[in-house]
Structure 1
Amino acid sequence: MDINIGIKAADRKVSAEAVSRLLADTYTLYLKTHGYHWNVEGPHFQQLHIQFMEQYTEMWTAVDELAERIRALGHYAPGSYAEMAALSNLTEESGRPDWKAMVTTLAKGHEQVAKTARDVLRVAEEAGDDATADIVAPRVTLHEKTAWMLRATAA
């Protein structure tokens, strides 16, 4: 069935590709945050364990909304970690960093997701894709605030 939502097919494609990059960054950061939640140790264990859980829970909800927006635009969302990794600006890391390195890494990750989300906003606005912009704008605010909180924790 044809899609007739007031956005040209080419613009929907560009918007969906941009949202796919945001989805990939968010999913990669979600995985990293969940792993840190499981493995954090040290004097701030309780605080960070809870903080990381709140963060990964929020991102888990966000990835679903982002993927569903890609589908509403008439495209397929990346569905495997290989696809996510190929699209993401974030990389996996091995080893067991200490709590402070975890916090620093996550702060940088949230900064990158905010940058990616800001790029998506520009694409969506140019495409006249108000719904995508409405979904993505709060993501910028959330990731910038989370990065600030993590930076303050590591100080």
Structure 2
Amino acid sequence: MSQGAPQVEDRSLFGEGRYPDTGPLAVLARLAFLGALLAIVVTVFLPRSMVPQFVRSHYLEHFAAFYVAALFALAAMPRTRLRRIGVSVVTFAVLLEATHLLSGAQIWPLVDNWVADMGGLAAAFAPVVVERFRRRFPRRTRGAV
């Protein structure tokens, strides 16, 4: 055993070291994720007249809601496999859209809403998946061909 200097944990926000589970950003990510889920659920069950319209397209609102929820899910659960997070968000979207069927809604508009939800999910996951793919290739050293 060597008696070197003690290992110092990198607690900076954007460093390469380990970030603590109880760090302020980790806690904020979990709260933001729960807040996004709650906002989506409340919006689904409120009458349309009480829901503020943020953009002109209903489908863009679905896209944006699930984009934000998926980003917060990725931040809130850094050790959870991407596939599990994705399946959980897809299941959440399916269940929410299915609740409209209970009130007698037509299925095809719900499918369109769900497709918009999945677009937001895909847009949030794409950069993460591409970055993981890129990490699989070793960096070339200077001077190497």
TM-score by length of 2: 0.32
Q: Which has the larger radius of gyration?
A: 2
Higher helix share: 1
TM-score by length of 1: 0.31
